[in-house]
Amino acid sequence: EVAGKLSDKGRRGSLLGEIARAQRRSGHHGAAVDTVRRAMEDIAEQYPDNAMQRARSEARMLARAGTSDDVRRVVDALPEKKSRDQLYSELADAYMQDGDLVRAREMAEASESPRALYYLGGALRRAGDEAAARGIFMAAYDDLNKQKGMARIDRTVEISGLVEGLISVGAFSQAVSLSKELDELNRPPRIVMAIKEETRRGDEPALRQTVPIALDMAKSPTRFGKTYLAELAGALLAAGYQGEARTVIGLTEQEAGRLSFWQRLDALKGIRAVQAEFGDKEGLEKTKQAIQREMAVFKDETERALSQGGEIARMAEALKLLQQREESVDPKVSEQKLKRAAELMGKNAGQQFI
């Protein structure tokens, strides 16, 4: 009665949706569906020329007030498959937000959207059901292979996410196999991630499979700088592969010359950390001196740029602040320097650091 007196049809539709939800919770399914139909009369007047928006509104209401069959009836009535897949994906996300993973899975599978299934796999993993999550990630891969005309970069993003998902649930064999589709820039970081998770789980058979792959990648020539080598060395050391870690440290030292200043500095710091674990005093001293040389060159170039004024000086000041932030142990001071650097580098450039 109150809903009927509201003159704002948008507000009335929302109120009717909440009434329908309450009716369903109290076990009055038929009454809930009737209430949604009343709400849809208002929604139809709001969106007379937008079938997708009408279907979205009705499906979302029925998701709260009706059954899965009620929801699917609305979505399946849309003429375009792209629209149906999009709406099913949105509904899967809504069910995940409500914690209803059973219905979320039903909607995600109906969507034939790899991304919806990927998110569902993550939700199942967080809920503790790794076996179900593993199955969902592989189902997402199957759906990904059905996609036509997907740009290579988009497929790389999707595959990378699925590899990371499989690693997170301990499906190392599938993850490593799937990672073969990634290029020499995107595969190595996922292999390092796998080694770390295998170590955390104490999965020695998986390590015996993954470590040789990591070493082959580390030794293979590539057109990209191998920024991951120091991290790989640390992961190998943590896994108990000391000989392999030493090998990678040597490769990291050889590779450092190909890297940019910041990448090279990170690599040297990674080498230093591994050498400290080994107790390699001689190596530590050499790395310390290398870092000091890098910093001396950086400071000289920064001071020279600061003296030139203008845009170059602003960028130099920002880089100087970023370096000071790296050295700071006070979180507040670090945050202040980051914000000031972002301001100097401009709104768009600053966002990448924040």
The pLDDT tens digits of the residues spanning 310-322 come to: 888 888 888 788 8
Whose tokens are 């290398």? That residue is 290
The pLDDT assigned to 176 comes to 97
Q: Residues 289-301: what's their mean pLDDT?
A: 86
pLDDT at residue 101 greater than cutoff 90: no
Q: What is the pLDDT of residues 339-352, one digit of tens each?
A: 888 887 764 444 43
Highest mean pLDDT among 34-43, 49-58, 240-249, 288-297: 240-249
**Cα→Cα distances 198→56, 207, 272, Å:** 42, 6, 24
> What is the average pLDDT value for the chain, to the nearest integer?
82
Q: pLDDT-derived band of residue 88, with 50, 70 and 90 as boundaries?
A: confident
Give the rounded distance of the alpha carbon of 213 from its chain centre: 24
The pLDDT assigned to 15 comes to 67
Least confident of 74-88, 129-143, 272-286: 74-88
Distance CA 52, CA 55 (A): 5
Distance CA 231, CA 179 (A): 18
Q: Check residues 49 and 304 and name the one with the higher pLDDT.
A: 304
Q: What is the pLDDT of residues 29-47, one digit of tens each?
A: 677 777 767 776 766 676 7
Both tokens assigned to 338 = 């980051």
Distance CA 265, CA 282 (A): 19
H helices within 256-280, ranges in order? 261-278
Q: Residues 14-41: what's their mean pLDDT?
A: 69
Q: What is the pLDDT of residues 230-253, one digit of tens each?
A: 999 999 999 999 999 999 999 988
Closest C-alpha to 252, from 238, 278, 233:
233
The pLDDT assigned to 7 comes to 43
The pLDDT assigned to 29 comes to 66
Whether the model clears a pTM of 0.75, i.e. scores above it, the answer is no
**Cα→Cα distances 210→122, 156, 224, 264, Å:** 23, 21, 21, 26
Residue 16 burial (CB count, 10 A):
24
Percentage of the chain surpassing pLDDT 90?
Answer: 27
The pLDDT assigned to 4 comes to 45
The pLDDT assigned to 354 comes to 36
pLDDT at residue 353 greater than cutoff 70: no
Q: Check residues 44 and 168 and name the one with the higher pLDDT.
A: 168
Closest C-alpha to 112, from 66, 148, 161:
148
